[in-house]
Structure 1
Amino acid sequence: MTRTPETPLPSPQERRRLREAQSLSQADVAAAVGVTRATVRSWENGRTTPRGTTRDAYARLLTGAEEVTPRQETPAPALVGAATGPVRTSPDRAEPTPEPPSETPPAPELAPQPEPALGRDPALGPKPELGPDAELEPLSPSLTPDQAFDALYAFCAPALVRQTYLLTGRRELARESVERAFQLAWHRWPEVAMDRDPAGWVRATAYEFALSPWHRLRPRHRNPEPPPAAPADRALLDVLLQLPPVYRRTLLLYDGVGLNLPETAAETEASTPAAANRLLHAREAVATRLPELAEPKELHRRLAEVASAERLRAAKPTTVRWGGEQRARHWTRAAIAFTVVLIGATTLTLRTAPDHYEPPLAPGATVHGVPPRVAPGPLSAEELALRAKLKGEMVSGPERLVPEAG
């Protein structure tokens, strides 16, 4: 039995070039072929390959044999960068945490979330907003590590600060979390630069640092920060902060960032059904307090407005890189100093410690009931005469005491 040969396809890089040459977005291709936008992105990244009739339709579309009319879409409010590539979880996290039994049913059907647009903080200067198909271009090999890091920082940091603010409700903590995430990325830059989704790597690290429970022990984080000025923004932020951290993160990733359900589950280290239940519970809690936000599109718009209303400036990339290098030098010197102290203490212990066992001396104790020793007194006249007599005898003693030979 022979097998029908599959339709040849160009390389992943050529697929993207052919799509852009026809002024088509990934959403246009997905609608024409009948798949999701994430699937098209996976085809162009080379992670998967279409098969069967889908492969034939995709090949005809790339070669121009099938006409596709680009869709006109209105960009959503600027909140976050569009998700690109596979979502990576934080390197410091281990296996997924088991969920309660209530979160294990199959994933229910969810309304499609609006595609996000990538914007910049208004304080950073004007820049045209990118559409829903905005993606981070692959870093050119000709860029130096500093230039590549600065490009990634300029693309992700402004939006990531706004995301982290919605996640924590604290402005300073949001800035610090993003800076620490990028400092760790700079410290591990060879690993991050080779990652298929550097933006997702940094986002997961920033979220992990922002949601760390150890912040509550820091003195400056014990006092609440001033809430947003607008009553509506303040009400929405209060509802978000009352959600459990994992529910809040799931809601932000799906309805704010615009990740699909599998990507949201991967970044939160949960199964897809568990992520779906978390999302539904979070939406239900928000809709209970704020009925006007029951619609996902309206919730997405309000999240963008609350985040954009705060003047959250991200530090300059050179400052972040310098701070990361200073932190690395500080911890390196601290580790060297601790090692020197440990070696010195060990050496001193070896020089001063005894080389054999010496039993301890028992402490003295008073013994009762023993008569004291009495010294001999002066001799009497009889004792003196007897002693003189004994001294006057022969040295060998009396005759009867000396044995004689037979």
Structure 2
Amino acid sequence: MTRSPVTPLPPPAERRRLREAGGLTRTQLAERVGVRPETVRAWESGRSTPRGRRREAYAKLLAGLAEPAEGTTDAGTRAPVSGRRSREGRRGLHGRQEAEGTTVVTVCPDRPGGGGQGGGTVLPEPSAFTQAPPPSSARSATAREDSRYLTPAQAFDALYSFCTPALVRQTYLLTGRRDLARESVEQAFQLAWDRWPEVARDPDPAGWVRAAAHEWALSPWHRYRRRYRQPEPPPPDDDDRALLDVLLHLPPPYRRTLLLYDGVGLGLPETAAETEASTRAAAGRLLHARETVAAQLPELSDPRELHERLAELAATGRLRSADPPAVRGRSERRARFWTRAAIAFTVALIGTTALTLRTAPTRYEPPVPPGETVRGVPPRVAPGPLSEDERELRARLREELSQGPERLTPQAR
């Protein structure tokens, strides 16, 4: 009886390198093998070794990931990745494409321009901070050529479908609330559709939307909304719950800086520009955030390990999003509402001005001076009883005609 050969298993450091070269997170690899992400972390750190069928499945998966890395960097193949992944290799949050004319270059040629996620459908489950792999040079040229004929709606839908999954997960790390994360991203895209000519010409439209989503999510006014007063259920895993608790206790600027630099992979100048701070201030925030996280979670003192844990934490929830046409429709309805409100206010102002001009006086009327007290006037005295002569005169005047000569020419008696 012969025993089937066992597939060799690479060393722990090589296991992690192969997984990162294949663009997989620990959660995705754990789902393929059928174990928990903590088990994969233990395998890559050397604390434990897989056995039985799991070992065979894990070894075959690593062997499959190692095959593309042995070739050259031709179109359609993946270049080998060094043992310590560079920061530029982690900058896969948004593909930075140039805008041509009034339309945006196709952001993700592998996805249809008018398609989208949401509307009751679960978003795809890629890495939380990476998007679709970049296309080959030939497909990039074809995409740039075809993007000139995209309508603004198609270009917006392509940008929305490409950026929404990662943006919702990033915003979830900033707020710890799934509903607020989804709302922030939709609000950012509604604002982008309102200002689409500006966004379409921006060198980094995905970065424009990301900054708008982060600003909306970190607004302090959300604390006064009734729906966000109660905390959401924490992640089920203890490690994820501890990391999210540490993140949410950081000040918002520090939390955002840590997410952009160690999570998204932006450079320090880009992080400082997006957070509206100087480079020195951004570096100070980053160091303070790293020290805080490392003080409570010592195993995350390595930035690479922190990046992996942030990606795993962001991928824990099944986040949903609306369809691109629905987002565009809300943006257009809001624009129509405010336009009609502005027109109604203008008409009311014009009517009030016309009524004022109609009823206002046409000449100058001096104001009535205030009353003054008159001094030196004798007090008013009531008349006394009439004498006999006065009574006779009164009787005679009453008997005579009112137009008699006595009234015209008084005569002495």
Q: Name the TM tier (shorter chain).
A: 0.5 to 0.7
In structure 2, what residue type is equivalent to 1:123? V
Say if 1:293 and 1:325 are closer, same or farther in 2 by CA, change over 3 A: same
What SS is found at the alignment partner of 1:124? coil
In the comparison of the two structures, how many residue pairs are matched? Answer: 290
CA shift at 1:293, angstroms?
A: 1.2
Partner of 2:57 in structure 1? Answer: none
Partner of 2:172 in structure 1? Answer: 165
CA shift at 1:358, angstroms?
A: 6.2
In structure 1, what residue type is equivalent to 2:166? A
Q: CA RMSD in A?
A: 4.2
CA contact (8 A) 1:86 1:263 kept: no
Partner of 1:82 in structure 2? Answer: 93
Give yes or no for the alignment of 1:275 onto 2:275.
no
Cα distance between partner residues in 1 of 2:316 and 2:82: 24
TM-score (norm 1): 0.61
CA shift at 1:327, angstroms?
A: 0.9
In structure 2, what residue type is equivalent to 1:71? P
CA contact (8 A) 2:93 2:166 kept: no
| Residue correspondence of structure 1 range 26-65 to structure 2 within 5 A | none
Cα distance between partner residues in 1 of 2:366 and 2:379: 31
Cα distance between partner residues in 2 of 1:72 and 1:305: 21
> Which stretch has the larger CA shift, 261-270 or 153-162?
261-270
Partner of 2:122 in structure 1? Answer: 123
CA contact (8 A) 2:172 2:181 kept: yes
Give yes or no for the alignment of 1:372 onto 2:381.
yes
What SS is found at the alignment partner of 2:147? coil
CA contact (8 A) 2:91 2:266 kept: no
CA shift at 1:276, angstroms?
A: 1.2
1:71 to 80, 90, 105: 80
Partner of 1:226 in structure 2? Answer: 233
CA shift at 1:240, angstroms?
A: 0.8
| Residue correspondence of structure 1 range 215-364 to structure 2 within 5 A | 215-355=222-362, 356-357=364-365, 359=367
CA contact (8 A) 1:250 1:268 kept: yes
CA contact (8 A) 1:81 1:159 kept: no
After superposition, give the CA deviation of every residue in 1:48-96 in whole Å (9 maximum; x if it has no partner).
xxxxxxxxxxxxxxxx9xxxx94246999xx984354499xxxxxxxxx
After superposition, give the CA deviation of every residue in 1:354-400 in whole Å (9 maximum; x if it has no partner).
454464697999x999342316723449x98xxxxxx9xxx9989xx
CA contact (8 A) 2:122 2:321 kept: no
> Which stretch has the larger CA shift, 224-233 or 170-179?
224-233
Partner of 2:196 in structure 1? Answer: 189
Partner of 1:29 in structure 2? Answer: none
In structure 2, what residue type is equivalent to 1:302? R
In structure 1, what residue type is equivalent to 2:358? R
Say if 1:84 and 1:260 are closer, same or farther in 2 by CA, change over 3 A: farther
Cα distance between partner residues in 2 of 1:222 and 1:369: 79
CA contact (8 A) 2:172 2:314 kept: yes
Partner of 1:212 in structure 2? Answer: 219
After superposition, give the CA deviation of every residue in 1:143-179 in whole Å (9 maximum; x if it has no partner).
1111111111111011101101111111111111111
Cα distance between partner residues in 2 of 1:219 and 1:204: 25
CA shift at 1:132, angstroms?
A: 7.4
CA contact (8 A) 1:80 1:160 kept: no
Cα distance between partner residues in 1 of 2:97 and 2:281: 19
CA shift at 1:290, angstroms?
A: 1.4
What SS is found at the alignment partner of 2:169? helix
What SS is found at the alignment partner of 1:165? helix
CA contact (8 A) 2:124 2:165 kept: no
What SS is found at the alignment partner of 1:195? coil
What SS is found at the alignment partner of 1:309? coil
Structure 1 spans left out of the alignment, 5+ residues: 1-24, 26-63, 88-119, 385-390, 399-406
CA contact (8 A) 2:171 2:213 kept: yes
Cα distance between partner residues in 2 of 1:124 and 1:225: 20
Partner of 1:112 in structure 2? Answer: none
In structure 2, what residue type is equivalent to 1:263? E
TM-score (norm 2): 0.60
Say if 1:236 and 1:263 are closer, same or farther in 2 by CA, change over 3 A: same
CA shift at 1:338, angstroms?
A: 1.8
Cα distance between partner residues in 2 of 1:200 and 1:296: 22
